[in-house]
Amino acid sequence: MELIVSFILLIGFNLTAWTIIGLIRFFLEKLKIEKTPRTMIAPDFLALMENRAFEAGGITADDVAAIIPAHNEAKTIAKTVNSLKRILPASHIYVANDASVDRTSDIAKRLNCQVFDAYPNMGKANVIVHTIKLLRLTRYYKAIMIIDADSEVNEEYLRKALPFFDDPNVVAVAPHAETKWDRHHPLDWSLLFTAYRVRVYRILQAVLRYGQTWTYTNVTMIIPGFACLYRSTAIEKININPAGLVIEDYNMTFEVHHKKLGKIAYSPQIKGFTQDPGNLRDYYKQVKRWNLGFWQTWRRHRIWPSLFSLTTLLYAGEVLISSFLFLLSPILLGWFALNSFLPFYLPFKIPFMDATQINFLDMMASLFLIDYLLTVITAWYEKKPVLLLYGPAFFILRYLDAFVLLYTLPLAFIIRSDGRWKSPTRSPA
């Protein structure tokens, strides 16, 4: 029992719990108890079991509009548009050009997209709202896709996503995020951040999102805004751009839960490919925006009686504690070095364990071995052995992540953001 508790404490309660729930979902689906997109029971039979009328979604590609909010994205927008043109008519692609001073608008027009030019710069969320309202997109389309101007989607995106809407309870589809990855050798340290994101996306989606988007849980904290799909009736009820938030996707997800609009679906087959930062400055700015956006959104919505609030509270509490302890790790390592690696005695017992001390091997296992094991698993699953070489440096990025998570918490109560953006350094997609 102590061994099991030790393992859970090392990898985290949330990771353990959602792994178990995800495995249950996986095996139930394999046993044909559930059917993609919602259950393996036909939607009409499911409706009969739930004592409600069955409504067929009937949404096709002709019923979908795609919005691309863009600010100085001339280097990448062509590939984004061409990616969408494989699944949508060009006339259904709306580029919300937010005061770009480069050729973003010209490129979009040359590709036969609908272009809405906004001046002055109003920010991503605001330009999305203005485009939807001005062009009355929710009136003419049954579903709205929002995709970043540096992102792409796979050809199966709509074919796999739209059947989810056959269930009238589903109001949004979260994409499976993959970073744009070029096979390379030798190491290119500008790709360290991309390599790290390969691991982050794989672990978070395979463990957290997969379990949290099961029809019986429905507690995912975020529908990633880089390539998401919403039912138009839900978009009309979501406050996309409330004052003071730095990003919109956390808030849109919280709105779905708080207003009880419906369920959020997810499948690993619905893929979006995003360009991750290529330098430390852009990485820090992005992580800061993400974390600040989460805390600002939580401050706005607070806690309400729901499974979503409970699971979010448990997750936030654990990451706060683990981030704080992670920041203390250099001090503890220094203490061990100065004290001949003797055990560090605690003034209390570790919960659920009959232990009052931490030895050096425990410290190394919790900090490095478990972390590198996740890299090994990801490298094997993704068939990217070069991750094993980048892996030791991931500790530095985890340390930065922990710092930013804690640093942005008080900022959420101080900073009010206007949502205006400055695009990171782009490489041609």
Non-local (6+) Cβ contacts of 24 within 8 A are none
In a domain, 77, yes or no: yes
In a domain, 317, yes or no: yes
CATH number for position 115 = 3.90.550.10
SS3 category, 371: helix
Give the pTM.
0.88
Q: Residue 174: which of 159, 195, 157, 199 has the closest Cα?
A: 157
First and final C-alpha spacing in the chain:
50
Q: What is the pLDDT along the chain (429 residues), one digit of tens a residue?
A: 444 444 455 567 888 899 999 999 999 988 865 454 554 444 443 443 344 333 445 899 999 999 999 999 999 999 999 999 999 999 999 999 999 999 999 999 999 999 999 888 888 999 999 999 999 999 999 999 999 999 999 999 999 999 999 999 999 999 999 999 887 777 888 899 999 999 999 999 998 999 999 999 999 999 999 999 999 999 999 999 998 999 999 999 999 999 999 999 999 999 999 999 999 999 999 999 999 999 999 999 999 999 999 999 999 999 999 899 889 888 878 877 787 777 766 665 655 555 666 777 777 777 788 889 999 999 999 999 999 999 999 999 999 999 999 999 999 999 887 766 666 665 665
- Domain count of the chain? 1
- How far, in whole angstroms, is CA 370 from its chain's centroid? 23
SS3 category, 291: helix
> Exposure of 52 by Cβ count < 10 A (0-12 exposed, 13-18 middle, 19+ buried)?
exposed
The pLDDT assigned to 377 comes to 95
In a domain, 37, yes or no: no
In a domain, 356, yes or no: yes
Residue entry with tokens 């979260």: 174
In a domain, 93, yes or no: yes
In a domain, 285, yes or no: yes
In a domain, 25, yes or no: no
Domain housing 5: 1-19+55-429
Whole-angstrom distance, CA of residue 160 vs CA of residue 266: 10
Whole-angstrom distance, CA of residue 247 vs CA of residue 244: 9
In a domain, 359, yes or no: yes
The pLDDT assigned to 348 comes to 59
The pLDDT assigned to 422 comes to 64
